[in-house]
Structure 1
Amino acid sequence: MGKRFTGAVAATAVLWAGSFGAGIAAAHDSVLSTSPEAGTTVEAFPETISFVFSGEVQDGFNTIAVTDQAQGSVVFEGEPAVDGQNVSIEVPEDLQLAPGKYTVGYQITSSDGHATRGSFEFSYAGATTATEAQAETEPAPAPAPTASEETASNQDTVTSESGSNLPLILGAAVAIFAAAGVAAVVLRRPKL
């Protein structure tokens, strides 16, 4: 009886501790939305990176860092501004960022006082300049012909034009020979 009672108390204590721990974990604030949206591609690098959390974030020990995945290095980090559930950080204007994938990591102090960490990714396509867009839409100009190509082209033109008159010349020559032949036959006939 004593062993059964002790076992039941121990099992109850374990279940209570487990449910209490789950309650603490569930109380951590989670991300409801981000800007830029996780997993998307942007043409222009965002001026501000922001989060909306499920609870009011506490001040202190909050950090946001942006990492260039290709370089494997943090391009900037800092303490974000906190306004209730909203957390945001301004991107420095002087950053020279290449197109590619970026990871935004965060650490905030949840409304329950515990640190919450996480991250999301987005891709930066890079803005296309007007000159690049024009170059993509306009066909490349044909290269200027060389002197030998121009000469060959002129010869082809001349050959083509003289070739078109050849049948007329041959036809005229045949007509002349035929007329001469007829005249010879007529002149050879004996006069009656």
Structure 2
Amino acid sequence: MMELLAKIAFAVYTLLILSGGCIAVGAHSLIRAMVGLISSLLGVAGMYMLMAAPFMAFMQILIYVGAVCVLIFFAIMLSRADEHGVESGSKRPGKAALSALTFITPTFVIGYMLVKFQPESINIPIEIPLAAVGKGLLEDYPIAFELISVVLLAAMAGAVLLAYEPKGRKGGKV
């Protein structure tokens, strides 16, 4: 029974991740794209919970959903949109096809890898102590710890770029 519930939760989180990614890539409004990003990141946090890693799930919510998405939200609020609320301007005909290709390509690559190289299933996940996670991040795998700072730096740079308005251009788009 527990295995069935875990498979259902896995399917729900997978659906949340994929649908959020589709919304984030295909939305014309930056607010809708951010909502898609948030739902996708919350699905990833749910996957961490399924892997019995509650600390990683909390960090996923705190760092990515909390910090990065709030920073993007402030950048959106500082940027100027047209009167219809569409920040991306006119619709390009190939944008839907490009976003579909962006979604389908990784799905097929990951699916092919999973079918070709069947991973061994573990019935009961092992909970790793928090001290071991901290030690691993700071001693054995410091590059993963440093990449979190790079993500936050990229989010800040994107926020500044979205909010930037050159002198002499009032009310116009960048």
- What TM-score does the superposition give when structure 1 sets the normalisation length? 0.20
Structure ranking higher on relative contact order (CA contacts 8 Å, 6+ apart): 2
- More strand as a share of residues: 1
- More helix as a share of residues: 2
- What TM-score does the superposition give when structure 2 sets the normalisation length? 0.21
Select the structure of larger CA radius of gyration.
1
